[in-house]
Amino acid sequence: MILAGDAGGTNLRLALFAREGGSFTTLDEKRMPSRSVSGIVEAARAFLNGRHVETAGFGIAGPVIRGRSQATNLPWIVDAAELSRELSIPHVVLVNDLAANGWGLSALPESAFHVINAGVEDPEGNGALISAGTGLGEAVLVREGAGFRPLPSEGGHTSFAPRNDHEIELLRALLARHGHVSYERILSGPGLGTLYRFERERSAKPEPAWLTEEIRAAGDPAPVVSKAALEERDDVCQATLHRFVRIYAAEAGNLALKALATGGLFVGGGIAPKILPILTESFFTAFCDKGRFAQLLSRIPVKVVKDERCALLGAALASMVPGVSRSPRTPQEG
pLDDT tens profile 275-307: 999 999 999 999 999 999 999 999 999 999 999
Residue percentage of the chain with pLDDT more than 90? 89
Which one, of 55, 48, 58, lies nearest residue 19 by Cα? 55
Q: What is the mean pLDDT of residues 160-182?
A: 97
Has residue 326 got a pLDDT over 70? no
The answer to whether 99 and 152 are in contact (CB under 8 A) is yes
CA dihedral angle for residue 252, residue 113, residue 124, residue 326, rounded to 10 degrees: 80
Share of the chain above pLDDT 70, in %: 96
Q: Mean pLDDT, the chain, as a whole number?
A: 93
CATH T-level topology, domain 2-103+310-333: Nucleotidyltransferase; domain 5 (3.30.420)
C-alpha to C-alpha distance for 290 and 286, rounded to whole angstroms: 8
State residue 8's pLDDT score. Answer: 87
pLDDT value for 333: 36
Is the model's pLDDT at 83 over the cut of 70?
A: yes
Mean pLDDT of 221-249: 98
pLDDT at 31 over 70: yes
Contact 34, 86 (CB under 8 A): no
Is the pLDDT confidence value at 122 over 50? Answer: yes
**Res 19: pLDDT:** 85
Residue whose C-alpha is closest to residue 118's, from 307, 310, 298, 281: 298
Instruction: Kindly state the helix (H) or strand (E) to which residue 32 belongs, with its residue range.
Output: strand 23-33
Closest alpha carbon to 315 in 151, 94, 21, 8: 94
Please give the pLDDT value at position 267.
98
The single-letter DSSP state of residue 271 is: T
Calculate the alpha carbon distances from 249 to 132, 140, 286 in Å.
11, 16, 6
Mean pLDDT of 200-223: 97
Q: Which CATH number fits domain 109-306: 3.30.70.100, 3.40.367.20, 1.10.10.60, 3.40.1580.10?
A: 3.40.367.20
What is the pLDDT, as a whole number, of residue 63? 92
Domain ranges of the chain: 2-103+310-333, 109-306
